[in-house]
Amino acid sequence: MILVVDVGNTNIVLGLYEGSNLTHHWRLSTNRSATVDEYGVLISNLFKLAGVRAEQIEGVILSCVVPPIMGTLEKLFQTYVGKEALVIGPGIKTGLNIRYENPREVGADRIVNAVAGIEQYGAPLVIVDFGTATTFDYIDGSGAYLGGAIVPGIGISAEALYQRAAKLPRIELSKPKTVVGRNTVAAMQSGIIYGYAGQVDGIVRRISKEFDVKPRVIATGGLAELIAGESETIEVVDALLTLEGLRIVYERNG
C-alpha cells in the first residue's frame, strides 16, 4: 500500500491506497510548530487504530504548500514509515503540461487536482478547491494547465468579518433560510454562502467566456458540498480529488 499526503495551510490530509482503492483517510491540523515526534505519535496511532503496520507502506507521496514544515514532514516519513517521500515539485513526473508563467510557482495541490481532474472527468475542465484559499484552475481541451484564480477561502472570509467588525460574531457556516437575513447571524450566513456561490458562478462563467468553451466544473475541499448546492455551475463534488491525484502521480513515477 502507499501513503498519500496533502499538506495544506489548515489541514494535512493523509490517505492509504491499496492499488487504486482508498482504504483509509485522516485529517490532521497543520501545526507549524509541531515536531517530527509529535506528528509521529499522531500518525503511529492512526495506523495502529486502522490495523496497519508501517512496514506495509511501500511508498509515500507528498504535496505541500507550506514550505516551513516540509523538512519536518520529510523527516517524519523517514523516521516513522522508513521511506523517503516523493515530493511534488521539480524532478517529479506529473504528466501535466503547465502553462503558468513560472510552472514552479503553481501550488502542488492545484497540480495534483488537475492531474486527477483530467484523468477522471476529461478536459476542458474547471476545478474549484475550497480550502484555506479557494482556487480555480482551468485546463483547456488539450489537457494543458493554463492557470486560474485565487480568492480568500470561506473560513478566512467569515473570520475577517468577525475580527474586523466589533458587532459581528463568529458564525456557523450553514445555509440560512432566506437570502434576506433578518438578524445579524442570518445576514452574515446569507452574505457568505450566497455571495460565495455567486462568486464561483461568476468566475466560472468568465473563464468559459475568455476561452469560448463549455468546461466541466468539479469542486473539492471541505466546504464544497455546502456551496455546490447553491451554485449553478458546479456539476460534481469530488472530496477525494487531491488524494486521487497524488496516487496517479505516484504511479507515473513508479
Ligand X SMILES: CC(C)(CO)[C@@H](O)C(=O)NCCC(=O)O
Binding-site residues for K(+): 129
Give me 21's grid cell. 482503492
148 binds K ion (CB under 5 A): no
Identify which of residues 150 and 165 has a Cβ nearer to ligand X in the complex.
150
Write the burial class of residue 44 (CB in 10 Å: 0-12 exposed, 13-18 middle, 19+ buried). Answer: middle
Using alpha carbons, list the distances in angstroms from residue 233 to 73, 76, 151, 227. 37, 40, 17, 11
Half-sphere exposure for 198 (CA within 13 Å, toward CB): 7
Q: Which of 12, 47, 57, 110 binds ligand X (CB under 6 A)?
A: 110
Identify which of residues 117 and 222 has a Cβ nearer to ligand ATP in the complex.
222
Binding interface with ligand ATP (CB under 6 A):
8-11, 30, 130-132, 153-155, 158, 173, 221-223
Q: Which does 155 bind (CB under 5 to 8 A by kind): ligand X, ligand ATP, K ion, none?
A: ligand ATP
Cα(21)–Cα(23) distance, rounded to whole angstroms? 6
> Is residue 109 annotated as a catalytic residue, yes or no?
yes
Identify which of residues 143 and 199 has a Cβ nearer to ligand ATP in the complex.
199
Instruction: Give the residue among 222, 21, 8, 218 at the shortest CA–CA distance from 116.
Output: 218
107 binds ligand X (CB under 6 A): yes
Q: How far is the CB of 106 from ligand X (least distance, A)?
A: 5
Q: How far is the CB of 159 from ligand ATP (least distance, A)?
A: 7
Phi, psi of 152 (to 5 degrees): -60, 135
Cα(196)–Cα(96) distance, rounded to whole angstroms? 29
Q: Which does 130 bind (CB under 5 to 8 A by kind): ligand ATP, ligand X, K ion, none?
A: ligand ATP
What type of residue sits at position 208?
A: S
Q: Which does 110 bind (CB under 5 to 8 A by kind): ligand ATP, ligand X, K ion, none?
A: ligand X
Q: Which of 3, 7, 8, 196 binds ligand X (CB under 6 A)?
A: 8
Q: Which residues are annotated as a binding site for substrate?
A: 100, 107-110, 184
150 binds ligand X (CB under 6 A): yes
Residue 225 and residue 173 in contact, taking contact as beta carbons nearer than 8 Å: no
- In sequence order, what are the beta bridge partners of 4? 15, 61
222 binds ligand X (CB under 6 A): no
Residue 147 and residue 163 in contact, taking contact as beta carbons nearer than 8 Å: no
Q: Which of 117, 131, 215, 245 binds K ion (CB under 5 A)?
A: 131
Give me 239's grid cell. 472530496
Q: Which does 107 bind (CB under 5 to 8 A by kind): K ion, ligand ATP, ligand X, none?
A: ligand X
Cα(14)–Cα(3) distance, rounded to whole angstroms? 7
Cα(223)–Cα(197) distance, rounded to whole angstroms? 11
Identify which of residues 123 and 127 has a Cβ nearer to ligand ATP in the complex.
127
What type of residue sits at position 143?
A: G
224 binds ligand X (CB under 6 A): no
Q: Applying CB under 5 A, which residues contact K ion?
A: 8, 109, 131
- Catalytic residue ranges: 109
